[in-house]
Amino acid sequence: MERKAVVGGRWARTPFALLGVLASCLAGCSTTIVRDAPSGDPGGSAGATSPSATGGSSGALGGSANGAGGSSSVNGGASAGQSTGGNSASSGGTGSSGGTGATGGSGTTAPPQSQCADQSAVMPGRAPLRRLTKVEYNNTVRDLLGDTTQPAYALPTELSGNGFGNDADQQPVPEVLAEGYESLAADIASRMTASPTLLGALDACASNPTSASESSCARTIIQKFVPKAYRRPLATGEADDYAALYQSVRANDTFASAIAAVIEAVLQSPEFLYRVEFGVADAANPSLKRPTGYEMATRLSYFFWKTMPDAELTAAAERGDLGTSSGVRAQAERLVADAKTRDTVRFFFEGLLPLTGVTDEARDPLQYPSFSSAIGALMLTETRTYLDYEVFDGPGTWSGILTEPYTFVNQTLATYYGIPGVTGDSFQKVPVDTTQRLGLLTQGAIMTGTTVTNFTNPVRRGAFILNQLMCRNLQVPIGLMVTPPDPYSAATARERYSLHSKNSACAGCHQQLDPMGFPFENYDAVGLYRTTENGETIDASGAVPDMDDGEVSGPLELIQKLAQNDEVQACFASKWLDFGYGQTLNGGSPDDVCTREALAAKFREGGFNVKNLLVELTQTDGFLYLGAQE
């Protein structure tokens, strides 16, 4: 059956607004969002629908709106039927065999070179319906209503999906989430209308309305507030629906309660909770669809700032500036230069790197007396400060981030590392001993974050490099139980973990994992440099799998190799695509493979500059166009 949810309908202060649509999703029926073309949006698509994904969750509160079929792999690994091995698409690397019993990475075969070489072919791929993440919800209500309480953190934990928590194909709506949205909307609406001053923030007329002016004031608030919340002009009848809701509540309650009812309904509407896109025919090629100006403003704003468009973006949409790639680029260059983009880049790195648990890491105080959760917090600040400086104030390249001969520490952390001459609590740029440390990967947060016990785990560290920095996506074979070796079975981690490579079920993966992890044995479980373990000299040699002349004698040489590796550079661009698109791009899709190749090439042309990469991402087909809607 088909169930229609009219956006902007007459919703009372109950969960009906959300649950009415949700019920159809949970029941497995298709939901259609119906609205007229928004006034003032050139080329708005009248009567467009949001179709459900075949076999997946459906409708406004479900999964993919535009996609073909069910959801993609939660962890971004190989789907059933894909080959195992290294990610050959777009990286320029050779890829490698997943080995016996190993579940490899995307392992895809690139489409014919001529297919990606055709620069005139537009290959946008899928454009699934995206729901606001918790961070986006918090930022949006902050900018929409001035609510700085970050209320969405009370919602259930998001699925990792593409690794950043914003994968549109991994956004189910369990009942507890629907109830959470209802509760948040009611609480926010109540707080934002709790006094004449707060009401006046919505519009001056609301601070002290008279009985004669209340209705017109409510209409003014609706026409001012709802388009901002919807991130587009209102369609015919939408303001009337909310005005009718106001009147129905005002008949039995106060002016403030009636305004609160409108806010509550808006905050539960699919047009607020989701980034709904209907698109418009491309002026140059009507067979293609672009996002409307307002939809593109939303894409740009949530990519760079993770919040609603500002006044300048909205004005650009009104003028029609966002219908061309040059217009999009101009706004992208403005947005990337804004301080709000720093928060988004930090969010990206904390999804890419093993940073989130550093402040919670616990170690045996007898074995590691100098380490504490406070040191873990300082390590996190070190890495955040370093990345922020590198991307926005320093050289700005990914290769530089991996290899710079300095870091940022305060006196306490400098003492912990053994760096002399640093005083005070503020973090300052200092040179590192380049015989011991270099760039990002040898920082304490990375080495501690890739260790979860009192003993280092070279396999875990190697997996971090291969999966997060090279996109190999090696996974534990299904049904194989993996346990770390007895930490007292040998003097060094190399001796203990080398036993794994002798097991035929493990050998395939460990031939890649071990050579990448062993060089980092020069750093203990709390990120301190060492040359011995249990009195034995550490052998920190290793290799970059499948790289010509990839052998290394230690961690610093490995880092230099990684910084020069095409696969590492292409993987970084690919991770930004997944993050920016809000999905896990399908390695088996020619559109997605060509998009990865194109962005990797632009990244290389731009000297691997990170800010330039973000701008170039907005010039990809998947950002500028809408995929075919089913």
How many CB atoms are located within 10 Å of the residue 103 CB?
A: 21
Residue 476 has a pLDDT of 75
Residue 392 has pLDDT above 70, yes or no: yes
Compute φ and ψ for 26, nearest 5 degrees.
-65, -30
Residue 166 has a pLDDT of 95
CB of 440 within 8 A of CB of 383?
yes
Nearest to 123 by CA among 610, 598, 456, 580: 598
pTM of the full structure: 0.83
- Give CA–CA dist 346/338, Å, rounded: 14
For 18, residues 6+ apart whose C-beta sits below 8 A from its C-beta are: 61, 178, 181, 182, 268, 273
Residue 299 has a pLDDT of 98
CB of 329 within 8 A of CB of 371?
no
CB of 161 within 8 A of CB of 131?
no
CB of 35 within 8 A of CB of 8?
yes
Residue 616 has pLDDT above 80, yes or no: yes
Question: Token match 């280092």: residue?
Answer: 456
Residue 514 is encoded by which pair of tokens? 């071990």
CA 38 from chain centre, in angstroms, equals: 29
- Rounding to the nearest 10 degrees, give the CA dihedral for residues 571, 575, 577, 578: 130
- Give CA–CA dist 467/269, Å, rounded: 38
Q: State mean pLDDT over 606-624.
A: 97
Residue 562 is encoded by which pair of tokens? 């990684």
Residue 498 has a pLDDT of 86
CA 466 from chain centre, in angstroms, equals: 19
Pairing of β 274-275 and β 130-131: antiparallel
CB of 172 within 8 A of CB of 250?
no
Residue 257 has a pLDDT of 98
- Which residues make beta-bridge pairs with 626? 289
pLDDT, tens only, 47-63: 333 333 333 333 333 33
Residue 266 is encoded by which pair of tokens? 């808006």
- Which residues make beta-bridge pairs with 428? 409
For 361, residues 6+ apart whose C-beta sits below 8 A from its C-beta are: 373, 376, 448, 449, 451, 452
Nearest to 296 by CA among 274, 281, 275: 275
Q: Which helix (H) or strand (E) holds 533?
A: strand 532-533
In percent, how much of the chain has pLDDT > 90? 73
CA 260 from chain centre, in angstroms, equals: 32
pLDDT, tens only, 132-177: 999 999 999 999 999 999 999 999 999 999 999 999 999 999 999 9
Domain positions in the chain = 130-275, 349-563
pLDDT, tens only, 518-568: 999 999 999 999 999 999 999 999 999 989 999 999 999 999 999 999 999
Q: State mean pLDDT over 341-356.
A: 97
Compute φ and ψ for 322, nearest 5 degrees.
-95, 15
For 16, residues 6+ apart whose C-beta sits below 8 A from its C-beta are: none
For 117, residues 6+ apart whose C-beta sits below 8 A from its C-beta are: none
Could you tell me how many residues make up the chain?
A: 630
Q: Which helix (H) or strand (E) holds 409?
A: strand 406-409
Mean of the per-residue pLDDT values of the chain: 84
For 405, residues 6+ apart whose C-beta sits below 8 A from its C-beta are: 431, 432, 434, 438, 439
Residue 276 has a pLDDT of 95
Residue 28 has pLDDT above 90, yes or no: no
pLDDT, tens only, 282-330: 988 888 999 999 999 999 999 999 999 999 999 999 999 999 999 999 9
What are the CB-based long-range contacts (under 8 Å, 24+) for 538-542? 538/492, 538/494, 539/492, 539/494, 542/514, 542/515, 542/516, 542/517, 542/518
CB of 512 within 8 A of CB of 462?
yes
Residue 17 has pLDDT above 80, yes or no: no
**Separation in Å, CA 521 to CA 243, 450, 461, 532:** 66, 12, 9, 9
Compute φ and ψ for 280, nearest 5 degrees.
-150, 150
Residue 524 is encoded by which pair of tokens? 């203990």
In percent, how much of the chain has pLDDT > 70? 81
- Which residues make beta-bridge pairs with 385? none
Query: Which SS3 state, helix, strand or coil, does residue 351 take?
Result: helix
pLDDT, tens only, 98-131: 333 334 444 444 555 556 877 778 999 999 999 9
Sign of the Cα pseudo-torsion (604, 610, 616, 620, in order): positive
Residue 484 has pLDDT above 70, yes or no: yes
pLDDT, tens only, 208-221: 999 999 999 999 99
- Which residues make beta-bridge pairs with 103? 475
Query: Which SS3 state, helix, strand or coil, does residue 373 take?
Result: helix
Query: Which SS3 state, helix, strand or coil, does residue 571 take?
Result: helix
CB of 169 within 8 A of CB of 581?
no
**Separation in Å, CA 514 to CA 90, 291, 630:** 25, 46, 45
- Give CA–CA dist 76/104, Å, rounded: 11
Nearest to 523 by CA among 438, 604, 424, 590: 438
- Give CA–CA dist 260/456, Å, rounded: 54
Query: Crossing angle of helices 16-27/175-192, nearest 10°?
Result: 170
pLDDT, tens only, 403-457: 999 999 999 999 999 999 999 999 999 999 999 999 999 999 999 999 999 999 9
Residue 113 has a pLDDT of 55
Residue 457 has a pLDDT of 95
pLDDT, tens only, 166-197: 999 999 999 999 999 999 999 999 999 999 99
HEC sequence for 235-302: CCCHHHHHHHHHHHHHCCCCHHHHHHHHHHHHHCCHHHHEECCCCEECCCCCCCEECCHHHHHHHHHH
Q: Tell me the CA end-to-end span of the chain in Å, nearest whole number.
A: 17
